[in-house]
């Protein structure tokens, strides 16, 4: 294959183009056949651990780390450029936590100093049919508790 490759390059890629293509196909088919034969021989081995080795060999081990990320408060810090890029694992975790789970808003505490409970509760008037339906209907999707009431 290399012989025909050098000849085709030296003579302008036209004279030995077909020979180079044939040699290339033969070369890569031979590699494919050798790999297939070796893999079949490996899998025919009756070793109990060979299946785990085969799984380990074929398992995708692509590792793609999270790239450096820009912190969310880059405009407020006054720093420029790369100083706001975070690359360590802990810095990235802190940025994700701050962006995905922001703190809840602060509210003023409720003052109950002047609170007076109402002496009159206003309940709507129930009809007898509404009361019977409320007491006898079963709640779907709820199981009985210890007192056997849904």
Please give the C-alpha separations between residue 49 and each of 35, 36, 56, in angstroms, as whole numbers. 21, 20, 11
More confident residue, 117 or 148: 117
pLDDT on residue 5: 81
pLDDT digits (tens, 9 = 90+) for 87-145: 888 988 888 888 899 888 998 888 888 888 877 888 888 899 988 888 777 666 666 77
Position 82 scores a pLDDT of 45
Quote the pLDDT of residue 76. Answer: 46
DSSP string, the chain: -HHHHHHHHHTTSSTTHHHHHHHHHHHHHHHHHHHHHHHHHHHH---TTHHHHHHHHHS-----PPPPEE-TTHHHH---GGGGEE-SHHHHHHHHHHHHSPPPPP-PPPP-TT----S---PPPPPHHHHHHHHHPPPTT----TTS--
- 92 conformational bin, left if phi > 0, alpha if psi -120 to 50, beta if neither: alpha
What pLDDT score does 33 carry?
95
Report yes or no on whether pTM surpasses 0.85: no
**49-88 pLDDT, tens digit each:** 777 887 787 777 777 777 888 876 644 444 444 458 888 8
pLDDT of residue 119: 79
Query: What pLDDT score was predicted for residue 28?
Result: 92
d(CA 149, CA 147): 5
pLDDT for 134: 81
> Quick one: average pLDDT of 17-30?
88
User: Is the per-residue pLDDT at 12 higher than 80?
Assistant: no
């Amino acid at each position: 294959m290399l012989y025909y490759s050098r000849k085709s390059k030296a003579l302008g890629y036209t004279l030995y183009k077909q020979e180079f293509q044939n040699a290339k196909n033969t070369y890569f088919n031979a590699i494919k056949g050798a790999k297939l034969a070796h893999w079949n021989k490996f899998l025919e081995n009756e070793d109990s651990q060979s299946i785990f080795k085969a799984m380990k060999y074929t398992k995708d081990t692509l590792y793609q780390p999270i790239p450096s990320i820009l912190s969310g408060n880059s405009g407020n810090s006054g720093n420029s450029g790369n100083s706001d890029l975070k690359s360590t694992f802990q810095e990235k975790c802190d940025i994700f936590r701050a962006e995905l789970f922001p703190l809840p808003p602060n509210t003023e505490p409720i003052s109950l100093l002047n609170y007076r409970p109402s002496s009159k509760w206003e309940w709507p008037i129930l009809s007898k049919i509404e009361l019977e339906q409320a007491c006898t209907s079963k709640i779907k999707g709820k199981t009985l508790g210890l007192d056997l009431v849904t």
